[in-house]
Amino acid sequence: MINEISLIIPVFNERETLPGLLKSLGELLADVPKSEIIVINDASTDGSETLVPDSVRLINSVKQSGYGASIKKGLHHAEFSKICIIDADGTYPPEALRTLLEKYNGEDMLVGKRENIDLSPLRKPVKWVINKFAGFLTGEKIPDLNSGLRIFKKTQAMKFFSYFPDGFSFTTTITTAFLTNGMTVNYEIIPYLKRTGKSSFRPFADTRDMLLLIIRNTLYFNPLKVLLPLGAFFMLLAVAVLAVSWRMGEILDATVSVLVSVSVQIFVLAFIADVVKQNKE
């Protein structure tokens, strides 16, 4: 069982679920020697902030700044070395947090792997592709890339604070940041309740944005993982063009030269990027 934790809850218009959630979490954390609950009210318009009891730290944002921005604000105010984030929409029941608290064993991050996620037929293949792609780039199997319930060490998260985005991609970014920097990330199966309301998922735009985010994160934290295979691809393409044109009796000198040049430039860029990354550390 964990002995200290700061629980950060980003809130935007969660009037219906917030009171019950805070009551349950307060009872749950009563067994933790050192604990606090921090509610970051992201300029709610439904009066959610008025339902926060005095026993909970309430931080109000003047204007709406986003999910990730709320968590970053919570990190600045957190007193304890272990951080837990949880959504306020009621999709993560109290027993899910209890599971993580009981299973946490000192790793850099413990992620709640959501069970029985009710995805639409369109979202299932998209989620599969994104998870496989992220797994390839990070070199790790990722059972749940963007779960909104996780426990992590504050000191480790603060290393990447300036890179964390203000939007919903915070969870994806912190996952890829930890994995590409050799930190221990474990997963524990937790229950997950169906979200009420209509999903705002955009099949093409959201998939594109997520893939670009994963590539950008990997380029930032582990540039060799992306650039070396890309450079190798253009070198192999140059060899293939040379072989085919040779058999056809007319070698495409200019095409081969361009492909080789592109490959070499990518290799050079990869090592420069890696050196820059090492110097930042």
DSSP letters spanning 211-229: HHHHHHHHHHH-HHHHHHH
| Residues in the chain with pLDDT values less than 50 | 197, 200
Helix (H) or strand (E) holding 38: strand 34-41
Task: Report how far residue 61's alpha carbon sits from residue 44's, in angstroms, rounded to the nearest whole number.
Answer: 9
Domain 4-221 has CATH 3.90.550.10: yes
CA distance 234 to 220: 22
CB 138 within 8 A of CB 215: no
What pLDDT, on the 0 to 100 scale, is given for residue 213? 81
Query: 118-148 pLDDT, tens per residue?
Result: 666 666 777 777 888 888 888 888 999 989 9
pLDDT at 4: 96
Predicted confidence at residue 151, as pLDDT, reads 98
- pTM for this model (two decimals): 0.83
Q: What long-range pairs does 128-137 form, CB within 8 A, spacing at least 24?
A: 129/207, 130/207, 130/210, 130/211, 130/214, 133/211, 133/214, 134/172, 134/175, 134/176, 134/214, 137/176, 137/180, 137/214, 137/215, 137/218, 137/222, 137/225, 137/226
Taking Cα atoms as reference points, which of 126, 178, 132, 169 lies closest to residue 148?
169
pLDDT of 194: 77
Structural tokens at position 238: 């140059």
Can you give the C-alpha Rg of the chain in angstroms?
23
CA angle 262/265/266 to nearest 5° reads 85
pLDDT of res. 14: 93
Tell me if residue 276 falls in helix, strand or coil.
helix
Give residue 219's pLDDT: 82
Q: Give the relative orientation of helices 253-280 and 223-248 as an angle to the nearest 10 degrees.
A: 170
Q: What pLDDT sits at residue 131?
A: 82
